[in-house]
Structure 1
Amino acid sequence: MDVSTPVSVFSAFSIIMIVVYGLFILLGIYALYLFIKLMIRGIAALDIYLDEKRNRML
């Protein structure tokens, strides 16, 4: 009689939660990447705006 080890519901749940946590970590890293790109563009736009204001006053 061959008895295989049963997979409990809690171990399957923990595996699913590890995958979900991993996906949230990757999503957070991607959101941080997009935020940094947005801030770089914002700083460049602010530099252009300030340069235009300074040159217009002269």
Structure 2
Amino acid sequence: MSSILAVQSIFQIIIIIIYIGLLGLSIYCLILFIKLAKRGIKALDIYIKKNHEL
């Protein structure tokens, strides 16, 4: 009976570690997306400024 509880607690710890890892990965992806959006806005501003002068 105690071996079943030990295995269950190990699985719970593994699930918590995976959950925290996925949470960290999602925050990292969000930061990368925000950086990409900022670069895209800069590039669009340069493009508009360059082609508006023509």
TM surpasses 0.5: yes
| Residue from 5, 8, 16 that aligns with 1:10 | 8
Q: Which amino acid aligns with 2:50?
A: E
User: How does 1:25-36 map onto structure 2 within 5 Å?
Assistant: 25-36=23-34
Aligned pair count reads 52
Alpha-carbon displacement from aligned partner over 1:5-44 (angstroms, at most 9, x marks no partner) = 7661010000010000000000000000000000000000
Q: Which amino acid aligns with 1:19?
A: I
Please give the TM-score of this superposition, normalised by the length of structure 2: 0.89
Query: Which protein has the larger Cα radius of gyration, Structure 1 or Structure 2?
Result: 1
Query: Among the aligned pairs, what percent are the same residue?
Result: 46
The gaps in structure 2 that reach 5 residues or longer are none
- Higher helix proportion, which one? 2
- RMSD of the TM alignment (CA)? 1.4
